[in-house]
Amino acid sequence: MLIGALLSLAILVVAMGAAAVIAERTRRSGFIDGIWALATGTAALALILTLSVPVERPLVVAALVALWAVRLGRHLVTRTLKGGGADDPRYAALRREWGDAAPRKLFMFLQMQAVAGWLLAISAAAAASRPGPFGWQDALGLAIVVAALAGEWWSDRTLAAFRRDRPGEVCDRGLWGWSRHPNYFFEWLFWVGLAVLGLSGFDWRTALVLVAPVSIYWLLVHVSGIPPLERHMVESRGEAFRAYQRRVSAFFPRPPRADQADSQRDSAR
């Protein structure tokens, strides 16, 4: 497993170094996340396929991770190619903040993302190495993963259609009316499903299995996902997005709340 771990880390380090170069030359940082997804999936496969355990569960986990990586990577790369010359607002803000040091700092930032992807790969491999025959736990984990992949695909599809129909407005169609970031929620849920597949007892392997859902939640909700994206949305959409924030949950889907500000204005008329 040590050789697989080192190989998976090398894959991510090289891929994210290449992503930094591509982003600098094209000024289209949207490629970064697509490359990260594909590299993380490749790193996880490299690690899983070096496991010295019965092949059934590793093959299932490898297939699920490959499906996740290809779908997400293809979606992000295709979206960037169709997006014209617009840069990802999160990375554009970082470039402005970093100034002349942006190329060096972007490279280092993406190497941190390589480490994050490596932790996900290790977590997936730990889930794949759970001993024992297939049973209800595998069925439950598989059901969660399939639901997560379908939900993320539907969220992305809904948002893309909305942007074509009503560019510049705030999407609250479908799942976007229940969560401001349903794609992030289902991304997290995918890793929850893999964790369910891999949990057994309380040991170091179980701790590694839990690394993925815990770290993904922290990154998406508190670091590189929701916070910078919502700052951009408030700047670009103003009061329309603030009203959306008041109505709709940030992450976990739930029915929308009534907008108290709108209700107060209506009652004052």
Q: pLDDT tens digits, residue range 98-150?
A: 999 999 999 999 999 999 999 999 999 999 999 888 899 999 999 999 999 99
Cβ–Cβ contacts within 10 Å for residue 44, how many?
33
Place of tokens 């990802």: 88
Average pLDDT, the chain: 91
pLDDT at 266 > cutoff 60: no
Q: What is the pLDDT of residue 88?
A: 82
User: Could you give phi then psi for residue 134, rounded to 5 degrees?
Assistant: -70, 145
Statement: the pTM of the whole predicted model exceeds 0.75: yes
pLDDT at 3 > cutoff 70: yes
Q: What is the pLDDT of residue 191?
A: 98
For residue 92, the number of C-alpha atoms closer than 13 Å in the C-beta half-sphere is 12
The predicted model gives 146-161 an average pLDDT of 96
**Range from 47-51, 63-67, 113-117, 262-266 carrying the lowest mean pLDDT:** 262-266
